[in-house]
Chains A and B, each alone.
Chain A
């Protein structure tokens, strides 16, 4: 495994440095931007307020300047009007008075006293002398010319109609002064004798507005870029540029002033001009001067007004950027201080892989958290290395143990008898299987021939499992072999094995074992059991029963144990099945045990199976029952079928049949009869009846043997068939045709001196049989004798 593939990949934005940077900037920049924004808003507000104040000041100043002229003239003209009313001088004196006005107020361009024409008035005809400045002198013009009709002029009419002094709107005096003027008209009255006052005329003063221009031009603009003093709307517009403002008669100023009027209409005094009114965004301050309702309008482009704010912002931005840069540098410095050792640690740890944990850690000990982490990693590495060393040792130990166990298992398997070949065990077919739950187990089976055609067989089960059980089993196996070969019968054999195994059995292990000896000549089984499951016997007919035996205590528990020998017979074709509790106690997923009853059922079903397939079938069925779960106990099965070479067995027509090949000799007869005796004993035929059958068999066989002059090449057999009620003996021989049943009957009542010695055999046969028959078939003499199964008393 390459170390490169183990190295953790860290994304560019995942590093501690990057994230620290992002977080610091992410927090700092909004705060800074917010501060800048608020500062700018505050500055702008301050500048706007300043502009408003300046506009107020300027407007007040203009108003004051206008008032100094306007109020003076108002007072003067009204005084003249008052004098005219009080004194009521004759019109001839009017010239003097007008000239006085012109002399008194240099700003007055011209003046007239126009009289009202009335019946009770001072003048019966129009009279309105007008004196005005003409160069350095005073000019005269008679306004009473019929063509002028002064009484119809607005300056006269408005004063008369209102009955009080009135200012005219500004107008350009064409053909007269050739200048912008306003006219102040004051009506004057005459007291009548009845106390009423009657209109006598109107005194006027024409005010040249040149001084207004001068005053406006002289006023400082302050922060403003342009300003205009203008007459109220609805009049001929007179506009005086304020300060250094270019002549404001242009179109631009007209739209600006219209916007200002709109602001006044909604009582606004300061605000942004609507878009499109000015070339650039601009503020407009508007003031109504009260005097003559004139307006002062002051314009300042936004950029200009806020220039200071912008400059401040620029400087703040510059300093802020510098600050941020410093902050950034500081963060990078700190982050590097954290990240570099961390990175070094990560690099070192990443290089470690698999079982190689020999990575180098920085030696220099820091006093911060990274130092603590490094130290912790060092301890972790050291303890992991220790752990790995231990684990490797433990694995090696395990492998060694496993290897040893495998060897032990093969040794244990070698202790079991090899599958018997026909030559090894004439007379019996044996098959067995042992499935240890672990590598080695405590189950045991064994079988071997002992002297005198005896076959010793055993199945045992050591308590516990695994190695202790296997060792105990090995001792048991050795004892069984050694003591069994001495020819001990099972009861004594088990007693002696118990003596040896109970001695010094500190581990308190015990073993259940069943052990038997099968006599291969007769089928007699002598069996003893030390607490083991009793074997099942599957007979040729398919019946299953438990082998009759008496169970004793398990081996290894008591120092002295006593076992009883049970005796029973098996017929050729019968199969004895021995097993351990691993079979009957095999547990299915639902908890149900396999059980002896299921095993018996299986055997009934498999009555014709030979031992090897039978064992395989049992093992398969049991493991299938356990559902493939690993067996919790060793499973051992042994099947032993009694199958002597000289006996053929089978079933036909509801009867089991055994065909014994008989050697044509006295010894052959005895041996054949032994077989038949064993068969009948195995099928629980009564001893008396067995005796009868044996007698019949002997008589018949003896006849054949005695008649055979030359035994060589003669074939002879004895068949025993067993049905529910009957025993049928059939003797076949291939000698010359001969029916012994037709022999001359012996006179049993003859005197002894007369009596024949022989010929009694056939008589005995006929007496015992329920029926006899002879047939010659295909070169064979076939003699059949039937006996009832029950013995007739």
Chain B
């Protein structure tokens, strides 16, 4: 079993994960993220975890790295549709405080809110 990564350059950019994100597969995701993050400052990055079965600390490191790259610039990293087991791990380590959404609508509302804040600040 392995990890399948699908990157969508839409707005917001979405990384769709399927399978296992563990010690073995985390480097793959790191490489993808390096590419995405190298393209300039992102305002938003969404991980779609609907088909992610397994997540270990190695995967969480990827998410935190993404956050560290995006959030200091005012961007936001969000995670949507996690399975309960995955969500449980995320919550244990408080990897995505306030950034986990169970539905796309919820996520969209949140992202709109973020955008508005950014606009107001600027």
Please tell me if the beta carbons of A757 and B89 are within 8 angstroms of each other in the complex: no
Q: Are A753 and B94 in contact (CB under 8 A)?
A: no
**A residues in contact with B37, CB < 8 Å:** none
Q: How many residues of A contact B (CB 8 A)?
A: 27
Q: Are B24 and A758 in contact (CB under 8 A)?
A: no
| Distance in angstroms between the alpha carbons of A665 and B22 in the assembled complex | 13
Instruction: Tell me which residues across on chain B come within 8 A of A755, comparing CB atoms.
Output: 64, 68
A764 close to B68 (CB less than 8 A): no
Stretch of B4-12, B41-49, B53-61, B105-113 with 4 or more beta carbons under 8 angstroms from chain A: B53-61
B56 touches A695 (CB 8 A): yes
Instruction: Write out the residue numbers on chain A whose beta carbons fall within 8 Å of the beta carbon of B65.
Output: 757
**Distance A702 CA – B22 CA, assembled complex (angstroms):** 10
**Which residues of A246-266 are within 8 A (CB) of B?**
none
Instruction: Report B-chain residues with C-beta under 8 Å of the C-beta of A669.
Output: 23-24
User: Does the CB pair B56–A757 fall under 8 Å?
Assistant: no
14 contacts between A and B (CB under 8 A): A667-B24, A669-B24, A670-B24, A691-B85, A694-B54, A695-B56, A698-B22, A698-B23, A698-B58, A699-B57, A748-B93, A752-B71, A760-B61, A764-B93
Q: How far is the CA of A658 from the CA of B93 in the complex (A)?
A: 30
The listed residue (B24, B61, B95) touching A666 by CB distance below 8 A is: B24
Report the Cα distance A306→B107, complex, angstroms: 167
Q: Does A688 lie within 8 Å of B85, measured CB to CB? A: yes
Contacting B60 at CB < 8 Å: which of A702, A760, A767? A760
Residue of A whose beta carbon sits closest to that of B94: A748
The answer to whether A699 touches B56, judged by C-beta atoms less than 8 angstroms apart, is yes
Could you mark each residue 82-102 of chain B with 1 if its beta carbon is under 8 Å from any beta carbon of chain A, else 0?
A: 001100010011110000000
Write out the residue numbers on chain B whose beta carbons fall within 8 Å of the beta carbon of A763. Answer: 57, 92-93
CB neighbours (8 Å) of A694 from chain B are 54
Q: Cα distance A107–B28 when bound, in Å?
A: 197
Question: Secondary structure at chain A's binding surface: helix, strand, loop or mixed?
Answer: helix
Q: Which residues of B contact A761 (CB under 8 A)?
A: 56-58
- With beta carbons under 8 angstroms apart, the residue of A688, A699, A748, A752 that contacts B67 is A752
Interface centre among B71, B84, B85 (most CB of A within 10 A): B85
A667 cross-chain contacts in B, Cβ below 8 A: 24
Mask of A742-761 contacts with B, CB within 8 angstroms, 1/0 = 00001011001101011011
B39 at the interface (CB under 8 A from A): no
Besides A695-B54, A763-B92, 14 other A-B contacts (C-beta < 8 A): A695-B56, A695-B89, A699-B56, A702-B57, A702-B58, A705-B23, A748-B93, A757-B64, A758-B57, A760-B61, A760-B93, A761-B56, A761-B57, A764-B92
Measured in the bound complex, the distance between the Cα atoms of B54 and A757 in whole Å is 19
Q: Is the CB of B94 within 8 A of A749?
A: yes
- Which residues of A659-713 have CB atoms within 8 Å of chain B's CB atoms? 666-667, 669-670, 688, 691-692, 694-695, 698-699, 702, 705
CA distance A760 to B61 in the complex (A): 8
| CB <8 Å contact, A702 and B23 | yes
When chains A and B are docked, how far (Å) is the Cα of A670 from the Cα of B24?
Answer: 8
Contact of A753 among B68, B84, B93, B95 (CB under 8 A): B68
Q: Residues of A contacting B23 with CB < 8 Å?
A: 666, 669, 698, 702, 705
Asked if A760 and B71 sit within 8 Å, CB to CB, the answer is no
Q: Are B56 and A702 neighbours in the complex by a CB distance under 8 Å? A: yes
Residue with the greatest number of chain B CB neighbours at <10 A, chosen from A670, A748, A760: A760
Asked if B40 is an interface residue, CB under 8 A from chain A, the answer is no
Central interface residue in A669, A688, A694, A752, by most chain B CB within 10 Å:
A752
A764: chain B residues within 8 A (beta carbon): 56-57, 89, 92-93
B85 CB, min distance to chain A CBs, angstroms: 5
Q: Chain B residues near A753: list those with CB within 8 A.
A: 68, 71-72
Q: Across the interface, do A691 and B57 meet the contact criterion of CB distance under 8 Å?
A: no
Do the beta carbons of B61 and A758 come within 8 Å of each other? Answer: yes
Q: In the A-B complex, list the 7 residue pairs whose CB atoms are closest, starting with the nearest.
A: A761-B57, A760-B57, A748-B94, A691-B85, A767-B92, A702-B23, A760-B93
- The CA of A311 and the CA of B61, in the complex, are separated in Å by 159
- Name A757-792 residues within 8 Å CB distance of B: 757-758, 760-761, 763-764, 767-768
With a 10 A CB-CB cut-off, give which of A669, A691, A692, A758 has the most chain B CB atoms: A691
Q: Report B9-32 residues with CB < 8 Å from chain A CB.
A: 22-24
How far apart are B43's CB and chain A's nearest CB, in angstroms?
Answer: 15
CA A749 to CA B64, docked complex, whole Å: 13
Task: Collect the chain A residues with CB atoms within 8 Å of residue B54's CB.
Answer: 691, 694-695
What are the residues of chain A within 8 A of B89 when measuring CB–CB?
695, 764
Complex Cα–Cα for A763 and B61 (A): 13
Shortest Cβ gap from B59 to chain A (Å)? 10
Smallest distance from the beta carbon of B13 to chain A beta carbons, Å? 19
The reply to whether A752 and B64 contact each other, CB–CB distance below 8 Å, is yes
Q: Mark A504-525, 1 if CB is under 8 A from B, else 0.
A: 0000000000000000000000
A753 to chain B, nearest CB (A): 5
Instruction: Report the nearest A residue to B95, measured CB to CB.
Output: A760
Task: Point out the residues of chain A lying under 8 angstroms from B22, CB to CB.
Answer: 670, 698
* A-chain residues with CB within 8 Å of residue B60 when the two chains form the complex: 760
Cα A755 to Cα B63 with chains together (Å): 12
